[in-house]
Amino acid sequence: MQIFKNTNFDFLRYKWPFIGASLVLSVAGITSIIFHGGLKYGIDFKEGTQMTVKWNGAPPQNKIRAALSSKIRGEVSVQPFTDIASKDQLVIGTEKMPEQQMNAARKAMQETLENTFGQPQSGKLDFNNAGLSELIDRITVPLQQANVQLSDQQLRQLASDMLTFKNTPPRSGIITGFDQLTAVPGVNSAIIGVLKQQCYLAPFSIRDVVMVGPKVGAELRTKAVLATLYALGGMLVYIAFRFEWIYGVAAVVACFHDTIITIGLFSLFNKEITLTVIAALLTLVGYSMNDTIVIFDRIRENLKILRREPLESLINKSVNQTLSRTVMTSGLTFLTVIALFLFGGPVLHGFSFALVVGIMIGTYSSVFVASPIVLFWHNWADSRKRMVAGPVSAPAVAKAQPVRKGTTKVGR
């Protein structure tokens, strides 16, 4: 099976509309960033405390906000997740503040949730947020009293199994009734009875807590910027070393173009830039580079074989020859990334979004951004040479024309 057989699209003829489209996208992205007053950074970069909480049903946003605002100094944000799959989760966050206050805020968040939505006054243990050792401590004696004979190790195993059951999707941290636990091997009605008597079920479960203090925040930012710059620089050097320097520049400009557009789209869709998104952007840079190199490699190879071919048609030919692989690779990588985007869950959402967008743009930029730059440079260098050399080179160009057909045949 083959999709492209000996294609001969004149890609470079349509370079202007595509370059125009690139410019429009870049400008739209940059405008959006300016309009939003900068990028929306994730907790890693903007500092602060952040707690993700999953609810049994729709989260009572206003009640949470009201309960917290009196307990925590500064602004408290309560934001639901945007994607439908995790609409029962929300993120509670504080603004940036000194480390000690952040720790206090983190403690206050947890305590306020427990006090407002749990039943601490009942003296029971919240099963949905209990730790293993807490649970074991709590049920050991009551189980003995209820005549459930278990060795320490069996008890530990049982408690751990029950918590694992609670944490495994689709429950993902919350059970709504103790009777659900009958699905766990070894759990009988006596054990359920003890649990009901000793524990209660809060309607929420804390999924993660992130606290980034000013000191670490600054360090993370510097490291991310350094990593990006050095990675780009390293690739530029390698390509310049393997090809002509203009190829390196063209490849880096294309990557820059991809990154700008992707970041712009993050702003347009109001998505957060996190540390993982930075990793995705760097992957995308690597991917776009990869794509560009494949085409450049072909151009270099053709330059050796088709010496007399004008550069524009040579580049066109190279793009056409690699078209099949470009489409296959991009298509397949796109498939894996789409899988990540659809099934990867909220944690990887930003990461896979960047890649889904980036792979499309990266593929396109190799053909319509990187290749034209090489062409423009050579045309410009040639015309300057011609101007210096005067009329001498004109017949040389004219002579090149009839030879082209012949060489094309040899090339095939």
Within 340-399, which residues bind other proteins (CB under 8 A)?
340, 342-345, 347-348, 351-352
Cα 216 to Cα 219: distance, rounded to the nearest angstrom: 5
Q: Does 275 bind other proteins (CB under 8 A)?
A: yes
Residues 121-150 that bind other proteins (CB under 8 A): 130-134, 137
Among residues 383 and 408, whose Cβ is nearest to other proteins?
408
Length of the chain counted residue by residue: 412
Closest CA to 181 of 130, 120, 215: 130
Q: Does 106 bind other proteins (CB under 8 A)?
A: yes
Q: Does 88 bind other proteins (CB under 8 A)?
A: no
Question: CB 112 → other proteins: shortest distance, Å?
Answer: 13
Q: The tokens 């903007």 sit on which residue?
A: 46
Question: What would the x/- binding string for other proteins be over residues 44 to 63, using CB under 8 A?
Answer: --------x-x---------
Q: Is the dihedral of CA 269, 275, 276, 282 positive or negative?
A: positive
Cα 386 to Cα 393: distance, rounded to the nearest angstrom: 6
Site size with other proteins, rule: CB under 8 A: 95
Stretch in the footprint of other proteins (CB under 8 A) among 68-76, 146-154, 238-246, 364-372: 238-246
Q: Does 64 bind other proteins (CB under 8 A)?
A: no
Among residues 83 and 385, whose Cβ is nearest to other proteins?
83
Among residues 198 and 329, whose Cβ is nearest to other proteins?
329
Question: CB 368 → other proteins: shortest distance, Å?
Answer: 20
113 Cβ contact list (under 8 Å, min separation 6): 53, 64, 67, 204, 206
Q: Does 103 bind other proteins (CB under 8 A)?
A: yes
Terminus-to-terminus CA distance in the chain, angstroms?
21
Among residues 220 and 268, whose Cβ is nearest to other proteins?
220
Q: Does 184 bind other proteins (CB under 8 A)?
A: no
Cα 40 to Cα 47: distance, rounded to the nearest angstrom: 12
Q: Does 157 bind other proteins (CB under 8 A)?
A: no
- Amino acid letter at 280? A
Helices (H) and strands (E) in the chain, counts: 14, 6
- Residue of 37, 62, 149, 169 interacting with other proteins (CB under 8 A): 169
Question: CB 221 → other proteins: shortest distance, Å?
Answer: 10
Among residues 4 and 377, whose Cβ is nearest to other proteins?
4
DSSP 204-228: EEEEEEEEE-HHHHHHHHHHHHHHH
Tokens representing 31 are: 């405008």
**Contact between 359 and 341 (Cβ < 8 Å):** no
Q: Does 246 bind other proteins (CB under 8 A)?
A: no
307 Cβ contact list (under 8 Å, min separation 6): 407
Residues 313-342 that bind other proteins (CB under 8 A): 321-322, 324-325, 328-329, 331-333, 335-340, 342
Write the burial class of residue 300 (CB in 10 Å: 0-12 exposed, 13-18 middle, 19+ buried): middle
Among residues 347 and 396, whose Cβ is nearest to other proteins?
347
Among residues 25 and 282, whose Cβ is nearest to other proteins?
282
